[in-house]
Chain A
């Protein structure tokens, strides 16, 4: 089945368990929001799934379209179709956006295939226009000297160009003003469809006004404590995370 499937995952950072017995299934074509207070383990989950070496997966399973991604190298996971939109994207001095995305696309081709440069630039400019990124940015170093909003738009640009099966978007709304939030959301909504599954990590409901999720999950202390429809986000907004904490304490 086409899905991002996570079962009983336990993740340690510097020996401490941060994500515990985490289970979630995101079918292709759906957008799931993962909400929770700071420190609940959302970003740890995201980086671990994208293969970061600082995060040790000590138990559980994670698969993408049936392929076990826990055994894969970082670049293999990406080529298998999982895209990670980072909360704090790295700055890469001296590597232009155009060359960077081109290298990423080339890595997905067979040895005897070559990227059609003209078609590549046409697509790149089309996506940049969609995300209201100045075309001059193609020659700029990746994320270097970008504002917070420009970095986030650059992440979405890469996602649009690489066309993943699944995307994990880690706090994509943080540091965005309302105009940038609308542009980014519009970009993501344009990509939505039966071929893309998205796990949207946020702790504010605000983003979900623009990217309306199919399901909402609430994470607390390393695991999902509640799941529901989009109205769960509104309920959270109204009652706050303490409400969830109290419920968990009761259970």
Chain B
């Protein structure tokens, strides 16, 4: 085969919309040594995608959300990366320099990897790109892969993810292993029209302790892209998992992040989601308290500006007794931006002594921003403590006066109050490097300087 015809073939493939069956067939062919179970799984997902309807303004699970921009025909799976795209992706990926392992993906292709230490690997830890893990750790991985999806209204997109995902990070932590420094995965989109399906799968075995950070970015500011990611966390008995997702796709991107947490007996999971990018993002979080005594905190912070929309749908399912779950979603809205928070706490009959909390706080920094809140409870057990609350308001006038009365200028006082509003979520980031980058990104969104340094607490 000549070079010319290879190029032709690649570009012909690349031109196919992700919604076309040719694109799906090409994707299957591109998978190297794919096991039969994967092909079967993907085929089933593709059939689901094809049969499910697109959301409409009348879909209850899409209430208040924009459904007019969801057409996927203009996006394609990307072909080979250019050297400069690879270089840009690598350059973008230095936000956290103290880590246990690192992977950089550009359009779902692995372009850089920093291995976990030999001692961790020898003790059974697996830190691998999903494409490789499917072949090397298939029997472990397939027990979890796509077995717990959020199902909160984006089933069609979830199925498309299942059909077309090709890579992402796979992290398995064996029984009792505790890893201090975070694992970091960067997911970059490059090039106009590219669609990506980043997948994150964390399996923490009994008593394991681990921390993973996903960072989603674009290498260009103006490329129109589609991102549909999934992150699934399975925390075994007594495991402690901390997960952070920073969504900073460019402002032309349509994105979906469909995440789930399953916590077994006495497991302790904490997630922090920060939404900064995308013109429209759909963030789904399904948390399942599967084993007694488990505890899950889901924190989220979104800072939409311009006409960005952040659409958040959450579900806390309590299946086992004596569990605690806490969901805190904070949104600070500028300009004409919009947010939707729709959350449900579901306590099953067997889940006695449940503590479940759900809070959505919206700070309107401009009169034409719009925050919608739909909190809900569905309780079948009789011995539970549950609360849900939603508030929407502007900056507190008395607080502002207090800051002004100390001589702080109005602009700086407002900025302090806004960053003060974020603090309840930021304090859970557990990573100073990440915190500083977020401060500076958010500062740029507000056209203000970020707060200077952290307070010194030691004497």
Which residues of A pack against B, CB within 8 Å?
A: 50-53, 73-75, 77-79, 84, 86, 89-104, 107-108, 117, 121, 125, 135-136, 138-139, 141, 158, 162
Contact = CB atoms under 8 A, between A and B. Distances in A.
Contacts of B409: 75, 107
Given A98-B456, A99-B455, A138-B455, A74 B405 contact: yes
Contact of A104 (B408, B452, B456): B408
Given A89-B402, A141-B423, 15 more contacts: A75-B408, A75-B410, A84-B405, A90-B396, A90-B398, A90-B399, A92-B417, A93-B423, A94-B419, A98-B455, A99-B452, A99-B455, A103-B416, A107-B407, A121-B456
B99 interface: no
Nearest to B458: A135
Contacts of A96: 455
B404 A92 contact: no
Contacts, number: 99
Contacts of A91: 399
Given A52-B401, A94-B423, A107-B412, A99 B451 contact: yes
B406 A100 contact: yes
Given A92-B403, A141-B423, A103 B408 contact: yes
Nearest to B420: A94
Nearest to B419: A94
16 contacts: A53-B401, A73-B410, A74-B405, A75-B408, A84-B405, A86-B405, A92-B399, A92-B403, A95-B416, A103-B413, A107-B409, A107-B412, A108-B407, A135-B459, A139-B455, A162-B407
A51 B452 contact: no
- Could you tell me the dominant secondary structure of chain A's interface residues? helix
Contact of A138 (B405, B422, B456): B456
A93 B408 contact: no
Contacts of B412: 103, 107
A31 to B, nearest CB: 21
A136 B458 CA distance: 7
Nearest to A164: B407
Report the 6 A-B pairs with minimum CB-CB distance, sorted nearest first: A94-B423, A94-B420, A78-B407, A98-B455, A90-B402, A74-B404
B326 to A, nearest CB: 17
A125 B459 contact: yes
Contacts of B422: 94
A190 B456 CA distance: 26
B357 interface: no
B457 interface: yes
A92 B420 contact: yes
Contacts of A103: 403, 406, 408, 412-413, 416
Nearest to A125: B459
A108 B412 CA distance: 13
A139 B423 CA distance: 12
Given A86-B402, A100-B406, A93 B455 contact: no
B406 A95 contact: no
B416 A51 contact: no
Given A107-B412, A136-B457, A94 B424 contact: yes
B148 interface: no
Contacts of B403: 92, 100, 103
A105 to B, nearest CB: 9
Interface in B332-359: none
B53 interface: no
A90 B398 CA distance: 7
A125 B346 CA distance: 49
A224 B399 CA distance: 31
Contacts of A125: 459
A61 to B, nearest CB: 21
B406 A104 contact: yes
A99 B405 contact: no
A155 to B, nearest CB: 10
B416 A50 contact: no
Contacts of B456: 98, 121, 138
B453 interface: yes
A141 B396 CA distance: 15
B397 to A, nearest CB: 8
A99 to B, nearest CB: 6
A135 B455 CA distance: 11
Which residue, of B406, B416, B452, has the highest number of chain A Cβ atoms within 10 A?
Answer: B406
B212 to A, nearest CB: 26
Contacts of B408: 75, 103-104, 107
A99 B459 contact: no
A109 to B, nearest CB: 11
B421 interface: yes
